[in-house]
Structure 1
């Protein structure tokens, strides 16, 4: 697709150098997912319990500890994407609306698969894929395996999340659904700015992109350094400056989804089928925020030095998705499926921030006013081809293969931030934005940034399985291989508007950036000997990374006398990774010497064993235990010393060359009771022993927020208890309870890591003024609670659910300089979902989310660090099955 977006592709030679650092992988076929798709189940009881029976049966049959969530369960909770749905799974928490923490371990400690295959990530700061990319309309089920098995990737800490998309239906499916929604925070007029003509589709039309005159200089390696003042003014005149802000009425949330599928029989042996689905969703969220950037301490008192106490923001998101699956089946023994998936998630946010700095504060009769524009498009394209074959004449030998090729793109074609100063000139204690403000007189009065990231990933492999019966022993043997090849390229450019380049700066007065720096004002402005544009692109803003994993595994499954099950095996992985930062001005490696180059290239190979034992206490009750050895490796950016901004905290982060791998031994014990009509109860215990866990630490900054570094702690451990249940209330008697049920889960856990200040200084090369050298892991909550109270009417026309979720406080920003750690406060999420089925073809759904109108808050030492309103959302949807 051609679009006038800002792109800075690295030369083929650069890519060839990285490819040369990675030895070629062995050729192979594709690995199949050991889990099978959930077959259609006709519910004889309530809708949820009918689906729960199928889901519980699959979980019961798993050799290793796993939790599974079906499409109907997701529909009952009203969650719109995979990320928000997974927070309902036992022991999982959601961070930043995108990343799942399994058993309190950060996103780097979990792996994600799509239909059993590894997929690329469009996130520039993390190697894992943001799970909010996957709308719930295309999801068949979500599987979270919490104990390691050799067929899974060895990079396994908290667990493995497998998103299984809808497959070919057994009969004709054709339905259309639409929805409208509203959020209480978006009532009235909201903050806005002029965008592009295709914003409704989640695609910039070139409005935000760098102008051709500047792009051409970057391509020619002629950066905006030491420009003549007249040339700099002319280039600034080419830049888009129309960023408002302005006030407009918020559009309602809206969504549309279409699904069409069918299967056809040809003769008695052949079956063909297809499934196509497409969806569109647009939302607007206005928020009020607070942000403390720099505290100080006088005695026991915390002094607020730099903060924004009045932030108004509006975020618009546009998501579209499409899925096409084609399949062919011969004699129910040979099946080949092909799928193509395209997903897009665009976020467009404007914020107007009022606050104080150390030098510009209300005591001096001054305030600062910042305008911040952030726009990004995240896109994922994936092709998947898989085959499943059974050979009855060879003792039912199974052969599965899988091939997947994916590409993810993050395009931030143009972000902008500008700073104004408000002066209470008439001393009425009111800061008049329109009449008492001016664009700040500084080298960085405004900053433009342009980013682009490409991830390309190929994953293929195969799996053989052979069942054998020997007396009372029923066995199955597996052998397989898995190969991953990934290349990432990232480019970033920045320039600042320097108002010191103007000799006469009276025209800087005003409140609208585009009006102040209008074509007329630029043409008449008197220039100084300084250029009004400064290129602030730095070495390391561009980087290329490559990763290859070659893996082979063997696994055996033994059943003895229908009482015992022993499953075990070993996986061997050869892992290679290289990260090469570039100097954008020269397109040469930003590496000082051979020692630096050696630290950025990483290779390791090892064996990773696992063993699981299940004892069948009764037909419906079992006790299982497992142990496995796994590893967690640094992300691509975490081993590069270049600095980037973490979108979760807005703090700068620098990686650490030479970062070590985390070794983990995982222990699990779980008792499970699967009862009639989907009722179930389970209690589990887990323990993880970690060597050199990867964690975030901070280093004090001279100006601005502290610098976050990635480093290894000495040791770490995580342990806890998980309880899960589903129970119909018909046992109470009195017919009113027959249509009610409860389901939920509770996780109580703890973690501890030990850090050594001097070792971190030696590893990172910077000061590490860590307050707590023994603490919980970042992102770990000591408890997670999910509860659902449901109703299904006798005639099947009505269903309702009240859904509750809360997590315990978790460290988001580790403390430094004597300040305690900063904790994200518990968020009590209460949602209500009502469904009405007036006839066999129609479904009407009404949802209320965040009924309690909770706000997101981060605090330290009883001091508010960050806050953000979320509002209460209402939506009404209509679905018709033809």
Structure 2
């Protein structure tokens, strides 16, 4: 009863807090937006934006953005003017109390002194459509994207959900992106102009679900290349820009829940669960760190013959074989976002956006069929997932200068339990198989960016970034039971396969730590070529990656086959009483190749020109040079050193042509050269045995374990 009262009090507190946050006072409205060039799509700095017939106005900042505040509710006419551009008047711009009206404007360059005196008049709705069309038409390359306005009107909670709406992309597992049918292996991604490291230990992929959608300013998926893009992609390059300075102070709370007909309120089976698991952490199932626990394979083997030391070591392993059962609750998806902006008397301003996210879900796939030649399995897959995230972006703008400091932290825990039943003809056996797999992933990323207008024709930007990825499997546990097919209709029990340690029935402990440091400087100058303004751009930069990976494979084996013990259910198969009798011993099959470290340095430089050839034909062309150095250290199974060195210098030209067929249609053609570089994991001789995914084995099953053993690099099959 006391716990119920406490829960009611907590719910009432939350409801009152929500009411105080979500009730906004009616006050002055605002108009904000971005001003761009109609032909090039470049943002324009220093454009005058004012209320027609008044002196109230502002200039666009270094990002081409403006904000007109302190407006009473009603409709206004906005006048936009800029040197060498035709003046625009936009009518029917409606402002509502306490809200921000977005008005993006496209400016047309004047062709003569006479035209500068002409005023182009249009209404709010038409100008908004023109801005959207201009953004798509003026892209230098073939791309698709989505803006914050479109994201705001969608129910999407994460960037993974948003990317589903971009043409030519599909999403796997609600987080991994596929562009033009090419898997994540052939795509790259950047967040706030800094490369994103892979969040997965065994492939090149980034979990896009870790970035909340409400802080995204825009997403662009580039399907062709220009010299200023990182060239390590064959499918697409995903560029995500998050918000920094809000238009006004705000606080938003979003409480979401979800229902899945296969999972919600249905039976859910799971391994041990701890409170910290709901917040993305697990410290209960780590490899023992005491001085009496063996640190390597040799130390494990040295325990044989010393029964007391062996028993002491075995008892230190986490006792985590219990299987729980309950009804899956509704999924949880909650976000809190706070935005603050401060305008100073010297026309500078400081802004901050802070976002917190929490997600939790329990999903069940009751029947996953796996058939391959000699076996027929049915899996029940139960996955518990929790995710906590935080984003803190800060920016300061003064005159033609802007400094941004953006930070992202995310923690994901996936705890999966698989129960398998079926027949393996290759081993003439019916099987029962249990697998517990917990994965913890953490991402920390920070970037510092600067944008500066050096002169009327020169813009400079730079960035430095740091990212750290951790990925650990603290205790992946697997055990199988077999019974001969000929005994199917008898009372003969299934017997645990635990008299010898294999990759089918071991406990895996692995840790990956990767750091990425990068930086770049880009300069853009407007030059006259053949009587037309062209943009000349060049830049240099580098990215350094360092990865350390280590895994240990161990488990308990019966000293002698014993059907009474082997027929026990999984909950009592490794009971403390059996361990203390000395019936089990600790075995280890960690090989020399189960550890590696690697680093790479990518340095680049590029030059490019965005040149209007005629009024309808535009060319963007140039060349990018990338120097790639990679070093990897590991060992073969025989202990011999494995050293991999890669040293490449690539020149990557590209040409993008755009011809304006009509005001609303472009014809595009492009030529470019990009590349797909080897990943650390693909070069390492480490064997990863995956019994939980739906991959088919890479060889016909015989008496080997029935799951897929995937070998990356080293020429393995």
In 1, are the aligned partners of 2:654 and 2:671 still within 8 Å (CA)?
yes
Aligned equivalent of 1:26? none
In 2, are the aligned partners of 1:156 and 1:631 still within 8 Å (CA)?
yes
Aligned equivalent of 1:607? 651
Aligned equivalent of 2:102? 42
In 2, are the aligned partners of 1:446 and 1:497 still within 8 Å (CA)?
no
Aligned equivalent of 1:420? 481
1:343-354 to 2 correspondences below 5 Å: 343-354=410-421
In structure 2, the gaps of 5 or more residues are 1-41, 44-61, 66-99, 105-123
In 1, are the aligned partners of 2:514 and 2:547 still within 8 Å (CA)?
yes
Residue deviations 1:646-676 (CA, integer Å, cap 9, x gap): 68846599xxxxxxxxxxxxxxxxxxxxxxx
Tell me whether 1:134 sits opposite 2:211 in the alignment: yes
Aligned equivalent of 1:340? 407
In 1, are the aligned partners of 2:656 and 2:671 still within 8 Å (CA)?
yes
Q: Distance in 1 between matches of 2:128 and 2:257?
A: 27
Q: Distance in 2 between matches of 1:202 and 1:351?
A: 20
Q: Distance in 2 between matches of 1:443 and 1:549?
A: 45
In 2, are the aligned partners of 1:579 and 1:640 still within 8 Å (CA)?
yes
Question: Structure 1 residue 471: deviation in Å?
Answer: 6.1
Report how many aligned residue pairs link the two structures.
Answer: 599
Match for residue 145 of structure 2 among 54, 68, 74: 68
In 1, are the aligned partners of 2:341 and 2:349 still within 8 Å (CA)?
yes
Tell me whether 1:87 sits opposite 2:164 in the alignment: yes
Tell me whether 1:518 sits opposite 2:593 in the alignment: no
Tell me whether 1:509 sits opposite 2:586 in the alignment: no
Residue deviations 1:434-468 (CA, integer Å, cap 9, x gap): xx455335313841111111110011010011112
Tell me whether 1:464 sits opposite 2:523 in the alignment: yes
In 1, are the aligned partners of 2:188 and 2:233 still within 8 Å (CA)?
yes
Residue deviations 1:242-275 (CA, integer Å, cap 9, x gap): 3222211222211221111122111133111111
Shift of the 195–343 alpha-carbon distance from structure 1 to 2, 3 Å rule, reads: same
Shift of the 243–72 alpha-carbon distance from structure 1 to 2, 3 Å rule, reads: farther
In 1, are the aligned partners of 2:465 and 2:518 still within 8 Å (CA)?
yes
The 3-state SS of whatever aligns with 1:532 is: strand
Aligned equivalent of 1:238? 316
Match for residue 382 of structure 1 among 432, 435, 445: 445
Aligned equivalent of 1:325? 393
Match for residue 662 of structure 2 among 588, 606, 618: 618
Question: Structure 1 residue 507: deviation in Å?
Answer: 3.3
Residue deviations 1:580-630 (CA, integer Å, cap 9, x gap): 12479xxxx9545xxx63xx1001102111111112233333222211111
Aligned equivalent of 1:306? 375
Aligned equivalent of 1:185? 262
Match for residue 546 of structure 1 among 599, 620, 626: 599
Q: Distance in 1 between matches of 2:485 and 2:699?
A: 36
Q: Distance in 2 between matches of 1:334 and 1:360?
A: 70
> TM-score normalized by structure 1?
0.63
Tell me whether 1:534 sits opposite 2:601 in the alignment: no
Shift of the 606–270 alpha-carbon distance from structure 1 to 2, 3 Å rule, reads: same
The 3-state SS of whatever aligns with 1:93 is: strand
The 3-state SS of whatever aligns with 1:475 is: strand
Question: Structure 1 residue 168: deviation in Å?
Answer: 1.8
Tell me whether 1:402 sits opposite 2:463 in the alignment: yes
Q: Distance in 1 between matches of 2:554 and 2:64?
A: 52
Aligned equivalent of 2:348? 270
Residue deviations 1:69-91 (CA, integer Å, cap 9, x gap): 22454465544433343233222
In 1, are the aligned partners of 2:547 and 2:598 still within 8 Å (CA)?
yes
The 3-state SS of whatever aligns with 2:425 is: coil
Shift of the 618–483 alpha-carbon distance from structure 1 to 2, 3 Å rule, reads: same
Residue deviations 1:349-397 (CA, integer Å, cap 9, x gap): 1111112223665xxxx632111111111111011000000023xx331
In 1, are the aligned partners of 2:159 and 2:211 still within 8 Å (CA)?
yes
Aligned equivalent of 2:92? none
The 3-state SS of whatever aligns with 2:299 is: coil
Q: Distance in 1 between matches of 2:130 and 2:101?
A: 9
Q: Distance in 1 between matches of 2:507 and 2:692?
A: 20
Aligned equivalent of 1:18? none
Question: Structure 1 residue 53: deviation in Å?
Answer: 6.5
The 3-state SS of whatever aligns with 1:183 is: coil
Aligned equivalent of 1:496? 555
The 3-state SS of whatever aligns with 1:633 is: coil
Residue deviations 1:630-649 (CA, integer Å, cap 9, x gap): 11111112123332246884
Aligned equivalent of 2:76? none
In 2, are the aligned partners of 1:225 and 1:535 still within 8 Å (CA)?
no
Question: Structure 1 residue 504: deviation in Å?
Answer: 5.0
In 2, are the aligned partners of 1:48 and 1:73 still within 8 Å (CA)?
no
Shift of the 427–549 alpha-carbon distance from structure 1 to 2, 3 Å rule, reads: closer
Match for residue 169 of structure 1 among 238, 243, 246: 246
In 2, are the aligned partners of 1:191 and 1:312 still within 8 Å (CA)?
no
Tell me whether 1:212 sits opposite 2:289 in the alignment: yes
1:671-750 to 2 correspondences below 5 Å: 698=698, 703-704=704-705, 705=707
In 2, are the aligned partners of 1:51 and 1:73 still within 8 Å (CA)?
no
Aligned equivalent of 1:567? 620
In 2, are the aligned partners of 1:579 and 1:637 still within 8 Å (CA)?
no
Match for residue 433 of structure 2 among 340, 359, 370: 370
RMSD of aligned Cα (Å): 3.3
Q: Distance in 1 between matches of 2:129 and 2:691?
A: 37
The 3-state SS of whatever aligns with 2:239 is: strand
In 2, are the aligned partners of 1:424 and 1:430 still within 8 Å (CA)?
no
Q: Distance in 1 between matches of 2:210 and 2:394?
A: 22
Aligned equivalent of 2:715? 764
Q: Distance in 2 between matches of 1:66 and 1:389?
A: 26
In 1, are the aligned partners of 2:689 and 2:710 still within 8 Å (CA)?
no
Question: Structure 1 residue 426: deviation in Å?
Answer: 10
Question: Structure 1 residue 49: deviation in Å?
Answer: 11
Residue deviations 1:754-782 (CA, integer Å, cap 9, x gap): xxxxxxxxx9376xxxxxxxxxxxxxxxx
The 3-state SS of whatever aligns with 2:412 is: strand
Aligned equivalent of 2:672? 628
In 2, are the aligned partners of 1:280 and 1:321 still within 8 Å (CA)?
yes
Q: Distance in 2 between matches of 1:421 and 1:381?
A: 44
Match for residue 472 of structure 2 among 403, 407, 411: 411
Q: Distance in 2 between matches of 1:625 and 1:478?
A: 21
Aligned equivalent of 2:682? 638
